[in-house]
């Protein structure tokens, strides 16, 4: 286990200030919370009254003078005992029912907030995260919030109130000795529980981390199922997963042994305290200073104290565990996106669709520049293509245009507006993309295409399918547009997925179109058909095309040639061929490859 993880596990006490962040979630249903608290108080009053009923019942039954009138008293007391017991249970059930909706709504609100926040974080965060571990952190965090809110409000505080009330009753009725034993026992129990639980929190965190790591490893391997098969690495993946499970097993063993030490210490304190209380009560009964009813009352109060006290130990342990889980959740919420807009940023106003990359430079690390002094313009309605060898920085331009990253210097302008100064959602609404690598949702073809504009009608989706030349393929499927594409679209070929992506963008119909090697997975016949469709839908729109096959962009108004993150040439197809430079070299190389492939086919 890495030193970085070890440092996290052995940090100081968890920040209890997160209760302040949870408080607003309790206040959404103020009336329900108030009624639940009233039920709590009523249940505790009934609970404290039970031992007194027991005392008087025993004393009445032990009375030597028995008459027809007097014999009714014990039965009345027994009936009262039953009613108090029923009231205690019913008030508790009503309390839990009332507060259940508060807890469920809090989990919903917090879960949604985390979900929205994760979507607001920048691309860099999502490229470095582990999906499985993140999912488990969210699940454990929201479950921890539920536990914390329910048990803190309805168990810890009421239990402490009950303990204080019982100590007061014992002191008032039976003197200092009994109250002192209870007070010292409670202090020793709570003190030991807090110290021991704080000590073992590190093992809880280790177990959670090991659980997240093993889950991440399994999900990562299964998501890359085909890659594992291609390289015959099933055993390698199994060995790595088993190592993660071994770490989990070790962490769980430490957690279990530390729990044994905690439970053993608590049991010893409870046993010593109860023995002391019963011995003192028995001594006083034997010397006639207490009745048998008093002995029963003290026994009942002692049991009544230590039952919730024992539960208090469990609740405190679970709260500490929950806080360790919630800590990760709030750490996620505390992450600020690196790409953000001012709170008062205006909406992007598209009038003509002119795009300008002005002295744009970009780097992930200062010592490794990706783009250097990029300058070009896409005039309204123009088609501008960007070409170059792999690693030249072509696709990075697309990420910067979508503001997945911010430029390191310079600026990108749409109709004179710096995209850093406008609201991000309006920017992305104005730009449509057909990406090189299309990932689909595990849903039907119809819904995957409709994702381009969720409010679109079926007729509009069918029109997009027709323009993307998907109709023939869909008609060949038994379930047609209702065919399930599988997780990440694995049931479709690369070309089929790309045509779905094209249909999505056709459906969106944005004023600015981006094609990131949009036909790279298509055969020549399909490519020509879809290129014609793309020309039709891009007509009148500003288009940025990232291209590998130069034959697809010979009609571009301007072709930007990149090498090693910089622009080396610009011009249309004929101008660049006349220069006989980098573009001409790429063109002639691809033409030779194409002729060679055609001769081999023939």
pLDDT in tens, 42-81: 877 777 777 777 777 776 676 655 544 455 555 666 677 7
* pLDDT on residue 14: 57
Q: How far apart are CA 203 and CA 294, in angstroms?
A: 45
Q: Is the pLDDT of residue 496 over 50?
A: yes
Helix, strand or coil for residue 589?
helix
| pLDDT (mean) for 439-453 | 87
Nearest alpha carbon to residue 535 among 525, 526, 524, 543: 543
Q: How far apart are CA 238 and CA 221, in angstroms?
A: 9
Per-residue burial over 251-269, b if 16 or more Cβ lie within 10 Å, else e, is beebbeebbeebeebbeeb
* pLDDT on residue 331: 80
Q: Is the pLDDT of residue 602 over 80?
A: no
The answer to whether residue 342 sits within a structural domain is: no
| pLDDT (mean) for 378-391 | 90
Q: How far apart are CA 425 and CA 110, in angstroms?
A: 22
How far, rounded to the nearest angstrom, does the alpha carbon of residue 160 sit from its chain's CA centroid? 34
Global pTM value: 0.64
Question: Are both 329 and 385 inside the same structural domain?
Answer: no
* pLDDT on residue 102: 78
Query: How confident is residue 376, by pLDDT bands cut at 50, 70 and 90?
Result: very high
How far, rounded to the nearest angstrom, does the alpha carbon of residue 74 sit from its chain's CA centroid? 59
The answer to whether residue 586 sits within a structural domain is: no
* pLDDT on residue 7: 38
Question: Are both 469 and 321 inside the same structural domain?
Answer: no
Question: Are both 320 and 387 inside the same structural domain?
Answer: no
Average model confidence (pLDDT) across the chain: 81
- Radius of gyration from C-alpha coordinates of the chain: 36
Question: Are both 326 and 362 inside the same structural domain?
Answer: no
| pLDDT (mean) for 312-339 | 76
Residue predicted with more confidence, 531 or 73: 531
Question: Are both 305 and 444 inside the same structural domain?
Answer: no
Helix, strand or coil for residue 569?
strand
Question: Are both 232 and 169 inside the same structural domain?
Answer: yes
Task: Give the phi and the psi of residue 353 in degrees, each rounded to 5.
Answer: 90, 30
Given 334, 367, 386, the domain boundary residue is: 334
Could you tell me the CA-to-CA distances from 525 to 474, 522, 532 in Å, in that order?
A: 18, 8, 11
Question: Are both 379 and 280 inside the same structural domain?
Answer: no
Nearest alpha carbon to residue 333 among 511, 120, 529: 120
The answer to whether residue 193 sits within a structural domain is: yes
Question: Are both 79 and 141 inside the same structural domain?
Answer: yes
- 8 Å CB contact between 530 and 502: yes
Q: Total structural domains in the chain?
A: 2
* pLDDT on residue 1: 37
Question: Are both 422 and 556 inside the same structural domain?
Answer: yes
| pLDDT (mean) for 180-192 | 88
Q: Is the pLDDT of residue 358 over 90?
A: yes
- 8 Å CB contact between 468 and 495: no
DSSP string, 112-135: HHHHHHHHHS-HHHHHHS-HHHHH
Query: Which residues form the domain of 398?
Result: 355-572
Dihedral over alpha carbons 500, 504, 505, 506 (to 10 degrees): 90
Q: How far apart are CA 434 and CA 302, in angstroms?
A: 72
Given 334, 365, 400, the domain boundary residue is: 334
Q: Is the pLDDT of residue 9 over 50?
A: no
Query: How confident is residue 340, by pLDDT bands cut at 50, 70 and 90?
Result: confident
| pLDDT (mean) for 446-456 | 89
What is the total residue count of the chain?
A: 602
Q: How far apart are CA 357 and CA 196, in angstroms?
A: 61
Task: Return the CATH number at 530.
Answer: 3.40.50.300
The answer to whether residue 349 sits within a structural domain is: no
The answer to whether residue 111 sits within a structural domain is: yes
Q: Is the pLDDT of residue 2 over 80?
A: no
| pLDDT (mean) for 101-126 | 80
Nearest alpha carbon to residue 411 among 384, 469, 466, 371: 371
Task: Return the CATH number at 188.
Answer: 1.20.1560.10
Tokens linked to 533: 């469709």
Question: Are both 294 and 418 inside the same structural domain?
Answer: no
Question: Are both 383 and 304 inside the same structural domain?
Answer: no
Q: Is the pLDDT of residue 571 over 90?
A: yes
Cα angle value 128/134/136 (rounded, 5°)? 155
The answer to whether residue 370 sits within a structural domain is: yes
* pLDDT on residue 212: 84
| pLDDT (mean) for 444-448 | 89
| pLDDT (mean) for 361-385 | 91
Over residues 462-476, the pLDDT tens digits come to 988 888 888 888 888
The answer to whether residue 412 sits within a structural domain is: yes
Number of helices (H), then strands (E), in the chain: 20, 10
Q: How far apart are CA 323 and CA 318, in angstroms?
A: 8
Query: Which of 11-15, 81-85, 141-145, 251-255 has the least mean pLDDT?
Result: 11-15
Residue predicted with more confidence, 293 or 3: 293
Query: How confident is residue 365, by pLDDT bands cut at 50, 70 and 90?
Result: confident
Q: How do beta strands 566-571 and 409-414 pair?
A: unpaired
The answer to whether residue 147 sits within a structural domain is: yes
Question: Are both 317 and 399 inside the same structural domain?
Answer: no
């Amino acid at each position: 286990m890495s030193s970085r993880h070890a440092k996290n596990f052995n940090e100081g006490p968890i920040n209890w200030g997160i209760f302040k962040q949870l408080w607003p979630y309790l206040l959404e249903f103020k009336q329900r919370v108030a009624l639940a608290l009233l039920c709590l108080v009523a249940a505790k009053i009934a609970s404290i009254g039970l031992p007194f009923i027991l005392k008087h019942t025993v004393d009445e039954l032990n009375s030597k003078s028995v008459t027809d009138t007097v014999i009714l008293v014990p039965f009345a007391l027994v009936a009262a005992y039953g009613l108090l017991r029923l009231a205690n249970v019913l008030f508790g059930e009503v309390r839990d029912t009332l507060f259940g909706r508060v807890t469920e709504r809090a989990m919903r609100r917090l879960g949604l907030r985390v979900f929205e926040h994760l979507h607001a974080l920048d691309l860099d965060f999502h490229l470095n995260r582990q999906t499985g571990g993140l999912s488990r952190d969210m699940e454990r965090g929201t479950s921890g919030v539920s536990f914390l809110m329910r048990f803190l409000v309805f168990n810890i505080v009421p239990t402490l109130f009950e303990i204080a009330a019982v100590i007061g009753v014992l002191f008032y009725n039976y003197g200092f000795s009994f109250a002192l034993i209870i007070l010292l026992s409670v202090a020793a129990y709570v003190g030991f529980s807090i110290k021991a639980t704080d000590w073992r929190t590190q093992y809880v965190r280790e177990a959670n981390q090991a659980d997240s790591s093993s889950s991440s490893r399994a999900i990562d391997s299964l998501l890359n199922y085909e890659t594992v098969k291609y390289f015959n690495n099933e055993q390698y993946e199994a060995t790595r997963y088993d190592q993660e499970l071994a770490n989990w097993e070790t962490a769980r063993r430490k957690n279990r042994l530390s729990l044994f030490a905690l439970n053993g210490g608590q049991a010893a304190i409870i046993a010593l305290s109860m023995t002391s209380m019963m011995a003192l009560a028995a001594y006083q009964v034997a010397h006639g200073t207490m009745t048998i009813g008093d002995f029963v009352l003290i026994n009942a109060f002692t049991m009544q104290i230590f039952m919730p006290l024992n539960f208090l130990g469990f609740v405190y342990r679970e709260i500490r565990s929950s806080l360790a889980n919630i800590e990760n959740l709030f750490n996620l919420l505390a992450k600020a996106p690196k790409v953000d807009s001012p709170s008062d940023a205006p909406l992007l106003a598209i009038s003509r669709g002119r795009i300008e990359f002005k002295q744009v430079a970009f780097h992930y690390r200062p010592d490794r520049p990706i783009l250097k002094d990029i300058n070009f313009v896409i005039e309204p309605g123009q088609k501008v293509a960007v070409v170059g060898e792999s690693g030249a920085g072509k696709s990075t331009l697309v990420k910067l245009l979508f503001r997945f990253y911010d430029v390191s210097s310079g600026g990108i302008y749409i109709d004179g507006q710096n995209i850093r100064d406008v609201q991000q959602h309006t920017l992305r609404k104005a730009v449509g993309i057909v990406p090189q690598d299309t990932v689909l949702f595990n849903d039907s073809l119809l819904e995957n295409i409709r994702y381009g504009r969720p409010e679109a009608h079926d007729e509009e989706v069918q029109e997009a399918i027709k323009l993307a030349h998907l109709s023939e393929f869909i008609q060949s499927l038994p379930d047609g547009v209702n065919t399930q594409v599988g997780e990440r679209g694995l049931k479709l070929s690369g070309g089929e997925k790309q045509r779905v992506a094209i249909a999505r963008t056709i459906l969106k119909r944005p004023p600015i179109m981006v094609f990131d090697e949009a036909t790279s997975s298509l055969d020549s016949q399909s490519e020509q058909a879809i290129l014609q469709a793309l020309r039709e839908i891009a007509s009148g729109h500003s288009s940025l095309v990232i291209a590998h096959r130069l034959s697809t962009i010979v009609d571009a108004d301007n072709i930007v040639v990149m090498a090693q993150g910089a622009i080396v040439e610009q011009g249309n197809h004929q101008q660049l061929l006349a220069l006989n430079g980098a573009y001409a070299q790429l063109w002639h190389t691809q033409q030779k490859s194409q002729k060679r492939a055609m001769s081999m086919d023939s």
